[in-house]
Amino acid sequence: MNIKEFGQRVRYLRKNLGLSQEKFALSISMDRTYYADIENGKRNLSFNNICKIANGLGLSLSELFKEGF
């Protein structure tokens, strides 16, 4: 999975929860514009931020990186 595919997966999972980018970013203590760059495949993430996203989506790291939608 590359950065762009990761961002697409995160977007898909966030939308399935019915959350806007802004609400989700706030819920995981992340700046909305930084988070938007993640979904657009423009950020190389740290492990800490990947963990924040997984926790915010209610997923384990392995579930987050699972192939497919």
User: 3-state SS string over 42-68?
Assistant: CCCCCHHHHHHHHHHHCCCHHHHCCCC
Q: By the 8 A CB rule, do 14 and 57 touch? A: yes
27, amino acid identity? S
What pLDDT, on the 0 to 100 scale, is given for residue 67?
Answer: 74
Q: What tokens does 24 get?
A: 């989700």
Q: By the 8 A CB rule, do 7 and 51 touch? A: no
pLDDT, tens digit (0-9, with 9 covering 90-100), for 10-52: 999 999 999 999 999 999 999 999 999 999 999 999 999 999 9
Query: Taking 70 as the threshold, does the pLDDT of residue 63 lie above it?
Result: yes
What pLDDT, on the 0 to 100 scale, is given for residue 1?
Answer: 87
How many angstroms separate the Cα of 19 from the Cα of each of 16, 22, 52, 54? 8, 8, 15, 14
Query: Taking 80 as the threshold, does the pLDDT of residue 68 lie above it?
Result: no
What pLDDT, on the 0 to 100 scale, is given for residue 46?
Answer: 94
pTM over 0.85: yes
